[in-house]
Amino acid sequence: MGPRRPGPGGAAGRRVMTRARPARSYTACAAVTAERGPSGATRLTRLRSDGPLALRETPGAVHMVGAAAGPLGGDELELEVRVGPGARLVVRSVATTLALPGDGESRMTVRAEVGEGGHLDYAPEPTVAAAGCRHRALARIDLAEGATLRWYEELILGRHREPPGRHISRFDVTAAGVPLLRHELRLDDPAVHGSRAVLAGARAVGSVLLAGPGFTGTPPRTGEGWAVLPLAGPGVLVTAVAPDSAALRRRLRAGENAATDADMSVSALRSGTS
């Protein structure tokens, strides 16, 4: 792999270099803010790229674009997402994220706030934990009263015919000031996560969190490789495991469809309307 190049954030993507080793790492923070305008339409009032985190506005969504390889070990990346009261925001990515080995642990943190009556649909392409990586993914979401959320994640354990690296994910969600979900998945010991109690040899794992007033009292359901888990508050968590990415996506879709009811459909969540 050749030298990494600064992304569109220019000097804002701060490359940290050490004299003892040629390794380079990024410390970067990108941000997007969506607010409801006077006409009722959502407008972006802030769109900031930084280093390898490039954000691009497209019709109907904001897309994350990888402006450099990685994350590599040692990278500290952060994305701030704010959705104002009554606003709607869809976040996607243009390609898979490949977590690679490097100098230490890499970290990706997403902090999101959704105002009263606002909606956030966050569904990037999968993350692949390449052999030798040590990656930590953190998400902290704060939902105001009446806010809705669709949060979709997929993780692939290693590239084709290679063992996976180490991956730890943590997901904390608060709704109207009350904890809604505290979820951690540690895939840092193959002897543990390969057991029948965790992934049972599955190479792909994912989840969908659906949160909002329409998700109270949703019954638990299960299917082949997926489960619908109602939460104590206004939300439901869909989890799935599969042998590969294509099967994982099918199972997450089946679980998400099973989790919806007449009050709030998947199509409403994805479009940001109810």
Residue 256 in domain: no
In order along its 274 residues, the chain shows pLDDT tens digits of 444 444 444 444 454 443 444 456 889 999 999 999 999 999 999 999 998 999 999 999 999 998 888 899 999 999 999 999 999 999 999 999 999 999 999 999 999 999 999 999 999 999 999 999 999 999 999 999 999 999 999 999 999 989 999 999 999 999 999 999 999 999 988 877 778 778 888 999 999 999 999 888 889 999 999 999 999 999 999 999 999 999 999 999 999 999 985 334 444 454 444 3
Predicted pLDDT at 271: 45
Indicate the pTM of the whole model.
0.85
In a domain, 219, yes or no: no
Q: Is residue 166 part of a domain?
A: yes
At 55 the pLDDT is 97
- Which tokens in the block code for residue 105? 């642990």
Domain that holds residue 191: 26-199
Residue at 103 is within a domain: yes
Please report whether residue 105 resides in a domain.
yes
Q: Among 230, 88, 111, 229, which Cα is nearest to 174's?
A: 111
Query: Residue 23 has what pLDDT?
Result: 53
* Cβ neighbours for 212, distance < 8 A, ≥ 6 positions apart: 146, 147, 148, 149, 234, 235, 264, 269, 274
Residue 42 within a domain: yes
Q: How many domains does the chain have?
A: 1
pLDDT, position 192: 79
Tokens 């990108």 map to which residue?
30
Q: Is residue 262 part of a domain?
A: no
Q: What is the pLDDT of residue 196?
A: 79
Tokens standing for 79? 């994305």
DSSP 3-state of 97: strand
For residue 171, give Cα distances in angstroms to 40, 45, 63, 142.
Answer: 31, 27, 21, 11
pLDDT score recorded for residue 260? 87
Is residue 35 one of the residues assigned to a domain?
A: yes
Give the CA distances from residue 241 to residues 39, 97, 138, 251, 271, in Å, rounded to whole numbers and listed in that order.
43, 19, 20, 8, 26
Sign for the CA dihedral angle at 42, 64, 138, 185 comes to: positive
**CA count, 13 A, side-chain hemisphere, 147:** 30
Report pLDDT for 142: 98
